Amino acid sequence: MRCYLLALSVLMASLATAQEAVDWSSLVEKMMPAVVTIVSVDAKDIVQGSGFIISSDGKIVTNFHVVAGKPAILARRSDGSFLVIKGILASDKANDLAILQAEGRNLPFVRLGDSDRVKVGEAICVIGSPMLLEGTVSAGIISAVRELRDGRKLLQITAPISEGSSGSPVFNRKGEVIGVASFTLSEGQNLNFAVPSNAVKALLRRLGIAFSPLPPSPTLSLEERFEQAYQEAIQAAQGLEDAPLRSFELKDIAEAMAQVGQFDRALQIAQKIENASDRSRALRDITITMAEAGQFDRALQIAQKIENASDRYWALREIAAVIAEAGQFDRALQIAQEIKDARSRSWALAVIAAAIARVGQFDRALQVAQKSEVALHRSSALARIAEALAKARQMERANETFQLALQVAQKIEDARDRYRALVVIAAAMAKAGQMEEADQTFQLALQATQKIKDARSRSQALAVIAAAIAEARQAERANETFQLALQVAQKIEDARDRYRALVVIAAAMAKAGQFDRALQVAQKIEDAWARSEALKEIAKAMAEAGQIDRAVEVAEMIDEPVVRLQALADIMVAKRKAGKGEAGRE
């Protein structure tokens, strides 16, 4: 018994020490403006509680029991100003949650974290208004995660919840809200409970509202946000016990660092990847990004040393393509001819042919295209050459080349390769102004998708076609095709395949400029990783369309730290490209 008590006292002391070691002052300073005191009134009494703002347009989370049945509600901010509550958007009596809509714009707000990742013993802090003492901060730990008989969960915390604290945000060390303080057991000593943040997300998803808004840190630049996201991502990855998953996460982090030009840092991370396959893929993508940055020699040196042959060939084909875009056609062709894998070599030759055509060397471009062994690549190259011919006003020759591309495409036996080839041809026709021919070719592509037996691949193919149709400015037909893609996806029985299909559909919608619709699709994806991937693609499309601020807001909605880092990297790249474009126009 003495040994047990001694061990218990040591454990409690260590927890207390860990709790005392956390300095919450910086976090509290940032988050306090988004925490409010809720006052609700009816003819009989006045109820006071706490809440927190989760969107710049004034959506507030609090407890259901604080506002239930009250016709008049006010929210008092930390600076003493009041927000008028226009109404209750949604409520969940079972989880004691309510979402209020306040009047206001450009309000500070906080970000919802993933309560399923909460660990017993981790430090937390609560900001609320107990007994009308606004801005009261209390710290503690997660002492338990309790599962109720009906499947709901509660977080048991040691931070006190007094009268008036109901609805207070429970923060983790990253400044994410992981719970909503709800009640305390008066019979027990310091037994306090909070509703998990994922219950708030579920309530918001029913409304189709983005559930992880941008945290109130307007002083942070995009680069500072990226560095902060890197620290979170690397910490999350290194904390994974599963070695293959850890390798996969580190691969994604290395690729994100390369995207923003931090190649040395990216290579250091890549070398730490334990799984050989993931390490090869990371080096492949790093070398491609190096080439895009103009570091051709360094990219080639590293690519030649990639262990996995498939990844090595992939890297070389992409580097050859980048070098061709830079106008170094002979060097690009030499690299392509040395690629032993036929499909990779074929793709490289097709891209090089298209690059040669864009500078007006049509005969040479056609010669190179005919060397492309894979029909999909050869037909795509011919389509792009035809587009370049049309741009040079050589319409007769352009039409002949389009017809040749179609002949090659229609002989492709694999339905997936055939639809891909036809989409490229149709898009090229549309850019060349041949709308009637483009429309007919899109119809052929749609027919090809009907022969794809796998529902996930079929829905993804439809999404790609819809985005291409939208780019061709056929909005009505694009919407019909997107709707068809969604119908196919919703019938997919396997949840993971369904989520993957929805990710592609959301990305295609965003690429077509349908951002709100894409966000609605993303919000309906229940799997956190797949939803994060969809949001990343939407953020990238927004950034490429010049909507940088909105892209950052969407990136900060992402639950997965590594995916959030990738999204911010995409935004930084888009912002730099836009800056270069503006400088060029000047």
CA distance 286 to 250: 13
Give how far Cα 24 sits from Cα of 6, 12, 27, 137, 564, Å: 30, 21, 5, 9, 24
Q: Quick check: 64 and 100 in contact, CB under 8 A?
A: no
- Tell me which of 166, 182, 212, 457 is the catalytic residue: 166
CA distance 281 to 118: 31
- Per residue in 314-328, pLDDT tens? 999 999 999 999 999
26 is catalytic: no
- Tell me which of 40, 55, 65, 247 is the catalytic residue: 65
310 is catalytic: no
How many distinct helices (H) and strands (E) make up the chain? Answer: 24, 13
What is the per-residue pLDDT for 300? 95
Contacts 24+ apart (CB under 8 A), 394-401: 394/362, 397/362, 398/432, 401/366
Q: Which fold has domain 12-207?
A: Thrombin, subunit H (2.40.10)
**Burial zone of 396 (CB within 10 Å; 0-12 exposed, 13-18 middle, 19+ buried):** exposed
- Per residue in 440-460, pLDDT tens? 888 888 888 888 888 888 888
459 is catalytic: no
Q: Are strands 35-41 and 72-76 parallel, antiparallel or unpaired?
A: antiparallel
What is the per-residue pLDDT for 220? 64
The 3 state secondary structure assigned to 243-280 is: HHHHHHHHHHHHHHHHHCCCHHHHHHHHHCCCCHHHHH
Q: Are strands 169-171 and 46-53 parallel, antiparallel or unpaired?
A: unpaired
What is the per-residue pLDDT for 164? 66
- Tell me which of 96, 285, 311, 570 is the catalytic residue: 96
Q: Please report, for the chain, the start and end positions of each structural domain, with discontinuous segments joined by +.
A: 12-207, 455-579
**Burial zone of 258 (CB within 10 Å; 0-12 exposed, 13-18 middle, 19+ buried):** buried
What one-letter code names the amino acid at 75?
A
CA distance 451 to 168: 55
Q: Quick check: 171 and 125 in contact, CB under 8 A?
A: yes
Gyration radius from the chain CA atoms: 28
CA angle, 24 then 30 then 35, to 5° = 95
Buried/exposed 74-93: b ≥16 CB within 10 Å, e otherwise: ebbbbeeeebebeebebbbe
Q: Quick check: 483 and 472 in contact, CB under 8 A?
A: no
Q: Quick check: 63 and 96 in contact, CB under 8 A?
A: yes
What is the per-residue pLDDT for 259? 92
What is the per-residue pLDDT for 415? 87
Q: Is the dihedral of CA 303, 305, 310, 311 positive or negative?
A: negative
- As given in the structure block, the two tokens for residue 323 are 């070098």
CA distance 468 to 546: 20
The helix or strand, by DSSP H or E, that contains position 19, with its residue range, turns out to be helix 2-21
Nearest of 561, 570, 550, 510 to residue 214 by alpha carbon: 550
What is the per-residue pLDDT for 188? 52
Domain 455-579: CATH class, spelled out: mainly alpha
CA distance 23 to 25: 6
Give how far Cα 183 sits from Cα of 49, 128, 188, 401, Å: 11, 13, 12, 73
CA distance 99 to 55: 11
Q: Which residues of the chain have pLDDT under 70?
A: 1-22, 131-133, 164, 185-190, 208-220, 580-586
DSSP-derived secondary structure letter, 130: G
CA distance 190 to 143: 11
Q: Quick check: 542 and 516 in contact, CB under 8 A?
A: no
Give how far Cα 290 sits from Cα of 227, 267, 331, 537, Å: 20, 11, 17, 22
What is the per-residue pLDDT for 388? 92
